[in-house]
Amino acid sequence: MNPVKQKLKRGEAALGQMVLELFTPGIGPMLAACGCEFVIFDMEHGRCGLAMAAELIASCRLSAVVPLVRVPDSRFAPLSRVLDLGAQGVMIPRVETRAEMEDCVAQLKYAPEGRRGVALGITHDLYRAGDASFFARTNEDTLVIAILETVKAFENLDAIVSTPGLDVAWMGHYDLTTSMGIPAQFDHPRFLEAMDALVASCRRHGVAPGFLPSTAPDAAHWIRKGFRAISLGSDIGVFLDAVKSFRTAVAGSLG
């Protein structure tokens, strides 16, 4: 069972973190020790490759944290490859149309819901091939996340979000504002309208909206607005902020 997917289906918020730099096998268990429910290993912007992802995913099995992977793009073939390594969900960047979303879901689901290739008795099932019920159970547990981060994606918002099999529609805020011609202007009315539109579409279609706020007040604000899959910043941002705060406090105590 994927506890993050079950929590989101109940309409609750799930908290985790995006990892772009600190690719140590301890990072998943460390986040679990902090109370995080999921970790997203970033293969798009981070230096994480498949071999590294396999080790990171395996290390999560010793803790309660759910391992997810952001693949480089929708053409990373097959998308299900990280699922075979044991990931419990896949985040797909730059989804712009219903057809793209349908194809992504099909790659991540076993027949009859999709066309994921079958390899049993390997990493993802802990080397113990299950019975026929394995396929439906795995389809149900796999978390499918699409990042909507272009003007074109928001022109097709309802068509994408209503795709059967999509669990989380994630706001790609830096890319979207750049696509809009208002880079990093997160207080711009057009961006705020897009945030509201994403939440409204997700509510209509039973999908969880996702976002990466950079501060605790921002996280609380957007959860109150309806976002439910939340990355508590990124490993880089949280680490830098913590060290700067620690150093400032030490320097201040020494006068």
pLDDT band per the 50, 70, 90 thresholds, residue 228: very high
Q: How many CB atoms lie within 10 A of CB 47?
A: 10
Query: In this structure, are residues 177 and 148 in contact, taking their beta carbons and an 8 Å threshold?
Result: no
- Burial group, residue 128, by CB count within 10 angstroms (0-12, 13-18, 19+): exposed
Alpha-carbon distance 135 to 118, whole Å? Answer: 9
Per-residue pLDDT tens digits for 191-224? 999 999 999 999 999 999 999 999 999 999 999 9
pLDDT band per the 50, 70, 90 thresholds, residue 48: very high
Which residues, in sequence order, are CB contacts of 183 under 8 Å at separation 6+? Answer: 174, 177
Say what the pTM is.
0.96
Q: 22-39 burial by CB neighbour count: b if 16+ within 10 A, else e?
A: bbeeebbbbbbeeebbbb
Per-residue pLDDT tens digits for 93-131? 999 999 999 999 999 999 999 999 999 999 998 898 878
What's residue 122's pLDDT?
A: 92
**Tokens at 89, concatenated:** 């969900």
CA angle 32, 38, 44 (to 5 degrees): 125
Give 121-142 as a 3 state SS string. CCHHHCCCCCCCHHHHHHHHHC
Cα 86–chain centre separation: 15
Largest CA distance in the chain: 68
pLDDT at 77 over 90: no
What's residue 63's pLDDT?
A: 94
Q: What is the CATH number of domain 3-253?
A: 3.20.20.60
